[in-house]
Amino acid sequence: MPKMTVRDIDVKGKRVLVRVDFNVPLDEKTGAITDDNRIRAALPTIKYLIGHGAKVILISHLGRPKGKVVAGMSLGVAARRLSEVLRQPVAMALDCVGPGVENMVAAMKPGDVIMLENLRFHTEEETGDASFAQSLARLGDVLVNDAFGAAHRAHASVSVIADYLPAVAGFLMEKEVANLSKMLQSPARPFAALLGGAKISDKVSMLENIMGKVDYVMVGGGMAATFLKARAYEVGQSLLEEDMLATAGRLMKMAQKEKVNLMLPADVAVADEISREAQVKVFPADKIPKDKRIVDIGPQTIADFSLELKKCRTIFWNGPMGIFEIPRFARGTQELAKLLAKLEAMTVIGGGSTAEAVIEMGLAGKMAFVSTGGGASLEFLSGAKLPGVEALQDRK
């Protein structure tokens, strides 16, 4: 990695601000954490800093409180879980800036860990306000950015703070950038991009950038409807991005020109409504009834995709193949996840809903790498420069 990491600096006795991504999913009723993977992913960096005598000050966002204090989005729940898995106390601050926080930090001893309150309780975080970034910077001697999931945001704690504090990468940030860079620069072939999710619009730049680098693009999920419609197929009541039809057509021509095998569903599972009780039927992709909507890929498509995926040595997967939160619409996602877990290939899961699916199935450990950043991984693979990565100090 061309950027400096936490290994390159002396942290003993220093106040180290660590930008983590503790934007964990919470149970709507109880407020309990339903998946602590993002907290566990930051443990190597946190433990390293404790072991090297740093005073560890964790900063993160949680949810979208839009600049207001929302009790249900307090990071207290993350501090408690971190304390359990770290097996040491993690103090919780009432805010992330101000005299109270500064006094709390001043009282820290080497090896202490504190969690500051949700950054997004302040509107200045998302607007990238310089004064807010300075207030955060006053709390530390150095910034360790371990929040790859937020690296594509030009927020105060992600990139602006680096104007006032030397910034280096944590181990998770280093691992994310290294794995995604390797996949782009020197992938073992054949190389397949397995893409799903609701929309094509958030994957266009990434598709344009990887089109000449991959051997296969396999399209499922809601975005398949836009590609099928661009081929003049009937897609019924399926989610459709009308303004992306021309783009889908252009991408298919681009694939043809680059000799990329772009595979669309041969058959699809459809339903009358999105509910747990809905009746599911399978139709060929060119015979979708006008009153139905696509909810998953069909068995023939699972077989077609699987046949080609077995040949591949590098696979990037971003986006579920159907509405996997509903069991009846989850077969495509589940079957392909099971297949990827068995393959002797570089299998990279591109964060977001796809990561949730493989973690929920207990298959994360069978994949080569599960990214913590859905949007960030897509932007990275699109060739865009991520503000949070660019702000890190260059390795001399």
Q: Is 38 marked active-site?
A: yes
> In whole angstroms, what is the distance from residue 345 CA to residue 367 CA?
9
Q: Is 31 marked active-site?
A: no
Q: What is the DSSP string of 208-224?
A: HHHTTT-SEEEE-TTHH
Mark out the alpha helices in 3-93 (DSSP H runs): 37-41, 43-51, 76-86
Q: Which residue has the tokens 């949700």?
A: 118
> In whole angstroms, what is the distance from residue 318 CA to residue 198 CA?
11
- Answer for the pair 311, 190: CB distance below 8 angstroms, yes or no: yes
- Cα–Cα separations (whole angstroms), residue 317 to 21, 38, 221, 288: 21, 19, 12, 26
> In whole angstroms, what is the distance from residue 171 CA to residue 54 CA?
16
> In whole angstroms, what is the distance from residue 316 CA to residue 372 CA?
14
Q: Which of 197, 319, 352, 388 is catalytic?
A: 352
Q: ∠237-321-289 over CA atoms, to 5°?
A: 25
- For CA atoms 58, 62, 66, 72, the dihedral sign is negative
DSSP type of residue 162: G
> In whole angstroms, what is the distance from residue 96 CA to residue 119 CA?
6
Token representation of residue 261: 């095998």
C-alpha closest to that of 156 among 387, 355, 382, 351: 387
- For CA atoms 376, 146, 340, 197, the dihedral sign is negative
Q: Which of 38, 55, 153, 331 is catalytic?
A: 38
Q: Which of 182, 199, 328, 338 is catalytic?
A: 199
Please state whether 338 falls in left (phi above 0), alpha (psi between -120 and 50) or beta. alpha
- Indicate which residues carry an active-site annotation: 38, 199, 352, 375
